[in-house]
Each structure stands twice: as C-alpha cells, then as structure tokens.
Structure 1
Amino acid sequence: MSMTTQSAARVPVEDPAPPRANRRRRRTGSPLASAVTSVALWIYALIAVVPLLVMVTNSLRPNRELATEPLGLPFPPDFSSYQRAWIEASFSTYFWNSILVTVTSVTISTVVSLLAAYALARSSSRIVAAIESVFISGLMMPVFLMILPIFYLLESFGLVSTKTGLIMVYAAVSIPFSVFVLATFFRQLPGELEEAARLDGAGPLRMFWSVMMPLVRPAIATVVVFRFVPIWNDFFYPLILIRDRANYTLPVGLTTFFGEYQTDWSTLFAGLVIATAPLVLLFLVATKQIISGLTAGMGK
C-alpha cells in the first residue's frame, strides 16, 4: 500500500452538517413582555396585600382614631382590641375549636387517603379500579344534598353539636379529593424503587414509610393546604351541626361576634386578624411544597 493511500486512510471522515432544524436556538421572551408581566404581577400582589395591611393597622388603633382618620397609621400601636376580642368576645374558644377540628380532620383524612391511594395506585385489579371510582364519585356529591342524612346519622350516634361529629364529617368529605391527588402522584413513581427496597429486605410498611412517603411530600403538602383552608373557613356544617356556643368554630363565632361588636371597629379588625393569621402562616410555610406539588410532572 502506498503512502498516499495510508495517509488517506488515517484522515477521519467528518460527520455531515446537522440539519438546520437541530440547530434551532431556544427562543427567549422579549424584555418588554417580561417587564409588562412583572409590573402586572406586582400590581396584583399590591391589590391583594393592601386590604390585609389596612385590617392589621386598623386593629392596632383605637376607635376614636378610626372614626376621624380611617386610613391612618398605628403610632403608637394599641393592642387592647386583641385583648377584648380574645377574652371578652370568646375568640379564644372559637379559635382553639377551629384549630382542633381542622388539624384533627385534616390529619385523619390525609393518613387514610395516603394508605388508600398507595393501594389503589399499585394495583391493576378491576375491583380496585371500581373502588377508586367510588372514592372519586365523592367529588361530585353536592354538600347540600348530604347534610340531611349526615345530620340524622350523627343524631343516631349522639354526635350532634359535638366537635367529634364535626371532625368525622370533615375527614370523610376530604377523603375523595385527597385520594384523587395522592393516587395520581403515586402512579408517577417508578416501580423499580419498590423492587430495590424489596431486595434490600424492606417490608410493605417500611417500603411505604421510608421510600414512597418522602417522594410524595409535595403532594401531601398540597392536599393538606387545599383541605385546611376550606375546613377552616367553612360556615355551613358548623351552623347546622353545632348548637352549643362553646363548640362554635371561628366562622360561626364571627357571626355572633359581628352582632355584638358592630360599633367597635378596632375589635372587629382584631378578630379578623386572628381568624386570618393561621391561613397566612400556613401559606408562608408551605409555599415551596405547594408549588412543587402543583408543577410536578410538567417537565416530563
């Protein structure tokens, strides 16, 4: 073989130029559109925050200042309205009743829904699919159609006008939504994770608690928040099922509170701040998990 042939054999053959379609660059939005979007979002945030700020500032001012200058600033702040709302208006009773009912019912419904959703997501049986359909059908049941049988059921067990009966009702009506969300997240998890845990000697409970639960944490946070808020703000069920004022939750307690303190604006604002503060705190703590839960799977 000649030297020319050997040199030609050593020259690497260049790959053909990639097609133009594969060389497309990622388009980016224009700076003007980004600026307009940012300004619109900040305006929306300001509109949403201003009423909360007015409520907080007016709760720290005496009534005589609210009558002369409704939009003034609290200098110096006056916390006596919180004392009147918490002690004299029985807001402490309403607040702790709402905390007990909401936290307990959300905890029960989340635990039950986690176990049910995991079993439904990991089974391909037709019977299990039918059971899941029964769970999901609870989302289509109107609240007003359920109240009469619920009332007679609780009355037969002696649970009318008790916090236990209200907790059971809230936990039951929260399960369909929670099962739907959690089962969807469990189905997105690959089965190889369970096979690897099984090879390591993990049992079903250990596999569920140590492997699957941490992976669906965003879904759990989403379920907790989306059930905590409507239960905390619910007025219908406590109005029908609770007769004893000592067992009132905040929404029902607010109605009597407004009637008794309709001329005491500072105390009214303080009561509204007390009722709103747990929701604001919950969103501040769980915002990251909520966003992760709502956007999970979008990039797939």
Structure 2
Amino acid sequence: MPVLIGSEPISQLPETVEEIYKSFPFLEAEALKLVQSPLRVIDKPEGVLYITQKEYAVLHSSDENFSIVGTDDATTCHIVVLVNREESSVCVAHIDSTDDLEDELARMVFDVLGQQNMKNDFPLELSIMGGYCDEMRKSEVLTLDLLHFYNQLPVKFQLKSLCVGSVNTRSSNGINWPIMYGAAVNIHSDFVISPAKVYHSTEGVFKISPFNYRFQSQMAEWALKSDDFILNNFSTSPAVEPEHFSKEMKEVFQFIIHNPFPMISIFKFNKSLKYVPSPQGQWLKL
C-alpha cells in the first residue's frame, strides 16, 4: 500500500532524497524547522525511556511510567517514529539497516497498530530522521530502503516528516556532520518530536527476548586497541561519532568476552529478561 505524502501516494519511489524534496518541498521545509528547533537536553532518568541502536519501543499516551521516549547517537543510523492517533500510541526505533530485518521492522508496525491490527482505516503517521550526506552514501541508501519497505506493507502510512540527507548535514573543516543526532517524543503532549538525547506497553515491563551472538577471540585484543582503531574499524562514520563511541564499543567487547555463550549465562533456560521501571527511573529485574 503506497505511502502517502500529503494526499499523494508515492507509487514509484524517487531514486534520491533530493528528488523527494524537489517533488514535495513542504517536506524539506518541515525538516528545516525540526533541525533548527532548540536541542532538548534530557539529563534525568525519571519518566524517560531510552532506545539504543537496533531497539524499538511502543508506548501509549496513558502510560504513567514514562513521559518521554527517545534515542540519540545516530550518524548513518535512522530514527523512525510511528504515531497511531486512533490508539493514541507511538513507536520509536533506532535502525541501522534493513538487511534481513523485515520481520522485525514489520513487527514494530503491528505492535503500534494494536487493536486495529492490519485493518487500519486511518494511516499511521511516519517520521524518518537521521542520516546525513556521508561519503559512502550509506545514509541515503538506508532512507530509500526504509521508504521502500513501508511502501510494500499492506498498511497505510502518512509521511509526516523526512529529516535526512542534505537537510540534516553541516560541513566543518571539509567534513560533513549530522546536525541532529537524536530525537525525543513527548507522549503526553500530542507526540511532539524534538531534537534530543524496549518497553512492552501491554505488560508494563521492559523485555529482552533471548538472542545469540558469535564470540570472536579477537575481541580481547580489540578491547585493548586505541580509540582511533575502534573508530576506523567499527563505525560507518568514524569522523563524526560522539566522543563516547570507542569507550562504549570496548564495553561491548568486554561484555561478550565475559559472556561468550549468552544462551547459557544470560538467557538461562531460554527465558526472556524482564525489568520494571522504578519511580526514580531505574530498571528493576523481575
């Protein structure tokens, strides 16, 4: 079912982001407003649900545990926001690729549809943010892949915001940088999106389903490497990553080194991990 831009379905997707902005100038104008909005600094955990890379969350406006859901540190990654006005719910996702993730991407759409399921008479509002004019064109490929994916689903979407590519790019010392690294959605204020810094809404818990990964013996060596080595070998955009990128990647390596077989040490008996939020914004394990 084609995505709607304004009242026009995009039955045939343009080949570049610039073609989209040229055909629909209001999208570029709205994107410029967004990147020029004041940056919201969220420095307290109370009422905030943070989404990291490869995660998504669906929340309802009546949720008493949270008022803000958001993510940041997106360079070539994209932030997707889906708003369901009929169910008064929102989904926020931090996506780094569509490769082999069609099932997961579809699942987040069906989660935010809720009771409507596939029979949505009213379109989901779709906003795509992040990415910039990077040298390898990874951002633009992801933008077009996402639009193509949503265009193929049997669900109605209204593209409300597309803040990507040239609109989200600034140049400094000959290097292109993203303007907007993150976004936050206020779920109690009409789902307003602001530039900024997985919760299961039906159960009221944060749930991590069992998953596996491949331990590599080189990780012990990588954890001791310089920050420059980490940036240049594990980032899609080494010149513009936040300062904490290398530190956090080394923490990931250390975690995997200490848990080489997650199905044994973390997800015992193939059980999900579940956490509930405290009033102070901390997560308590069930």
TM-score by length of 2: 0.24
TM-score by length of 1: 0.23
Q: Which has the higher contact order (CA 8 A, sep 6+)?
A: 1
Q: Which has the higher strand share?
A: 2
Higher Cα Rg, which structure = 1
